């Protein structure tokens, strides 16, 4: 769990055991503390220091409670996806000495990218973390909206998982959407970074399935999402991501 902390350096301070000191460091928790463990949120710019630590203190309990709840939610969803994809028994988890040996939760949170919905504040799946590595830092937080809160196609509610795992396809490629913009359009990370170009492409210029990020044409005839969907350029609800992966794998 990562928490944003402000590090204040005071030129003079008094300690009952040490007397006056000239370099007295005070750690001040900020109200915008956030989790970064499988949850893909950008670095908090006002902070001068980010510590990868578990923080527990009675004084911070009120601030930490929503962060811990968010962490637990991501952990639960990531583990469920890992199991449904049949990856909970991979070598990385079962090989002694491996980084994630006997720790499928950490493996799942390292593998998957999760975002916090601007509307409901719940974590939602946004693809694999490796696909998010080159994403830009310039974005509008209001555009990070989960499938349930951006259900423009009125997808059918999953009877088993409700709206927790509702996903949309990126309008311009065969990837899971992360952003919802203009009140109408779902984007994956790369297409969102290149939205000024992809949104003006005519239907004839758009790639057909299989379509890669940034509206590029992929070779072959197998859709990366393993589903039948409308032509590139149209909105499409993928439905429950967990159940869809259970059928795929």
Of the residues 173, 181, 191, 240, only one is catalytic, namely 181
Of the residues 131, 158, 223, 243, only one is catalytic, namely 131
Phi, psi for 132 (deg, rounded to 5): -100, -5
139: exposed, middle or buried (Cβ count in 10 Å: 0-12, 13-18, 19+): middle
Residue 181 annotated among the catalytic residues of the structure: yes
The per-residue DSSP string of 78-135 comes to: HHHHHHHTT-TTSHHHHSTTSTTTT-HHHHHHHHEEEEE-TTT--EEEEEEHHHHTT-
Phi, psi for 31 (deg, rounded to 5): -70, -10
Instruction: Find the largest Cα–Cα distance for the chain.
Output: 75
Contact 207, 217 (CB under 8 A): yes
Helices (H), the chain: 61-84, 91-94, 104-111, 129-132, 189-193, 195-198, 241-248
Tell me whether strands 24-29 and 19-21 are parallel, antiparallel or unpaired. Answer: unpaired
No. of H helices and E strands in the chain?
A: 7, 13
Contact 101, 93 (CB under 8 A): yes
Residue 131 annotated among the catalytic residues of the structure: yes
Distance (Å, whole) CA 64 – CA 71: 10
Contact 209, 227 (CB under 8 A): no
For residue 156, how many C-alpha atoms fall within 13 Å in the half-sphere facing its CB? Answer: 5
The residues carrying an active-site annotation are 131, 181
């Amino acid at each position: 769990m990562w928490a944003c902390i402000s590090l204040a350096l005071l030129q003079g301070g008094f300690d009952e055991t040490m007397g006056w000191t000239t370099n007295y460091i005070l750690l001040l928790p900020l109200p915008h503390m956030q989790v970064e463990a499988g949850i893909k949120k950008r670095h908090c710019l006002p902070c001068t220091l980010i510590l990868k630590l578990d923080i527990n203190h009675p004084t911070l309990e009120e601030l930490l409670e929503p962060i811990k709840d968010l962490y637990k939610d991501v952990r639960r969803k990531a583990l469920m996806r890992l199991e449904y994809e049949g990856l909970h028994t991979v070598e990385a988890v079962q090989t002694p000495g491996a980084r994630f040996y006997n720790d499928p939760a950490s493996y799942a949170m390292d593998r998957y990218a999760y975002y916090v919905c601007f509307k409901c504040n719940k974590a939602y799946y946004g693809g694999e973390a490796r696909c998010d590595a080159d994403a830009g830092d310039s974005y509008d937080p209001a555009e990070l909206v989960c499938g349930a809160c951006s259900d423009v196609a009125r997808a059918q509610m999953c009877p088993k998982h409700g709206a927790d795992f509702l996903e949309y396809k990126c309008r311009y490629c065969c990837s899971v959407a992360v952003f919802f913009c203009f009140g109408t359009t779902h984007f994956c990370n790369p297409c969102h970074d290149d939205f000024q170009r992809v949104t003006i492409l005519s239907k004839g210029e758009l790639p057909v399935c299989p379509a890669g990020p940034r509206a590029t044409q992929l070779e072959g005839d197998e859709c990366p999402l393993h589903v039948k969907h409308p032509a590139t350029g149209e909105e499409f609800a993928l439905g429950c991501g967990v159940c869809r992966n259970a059928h795929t794998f």
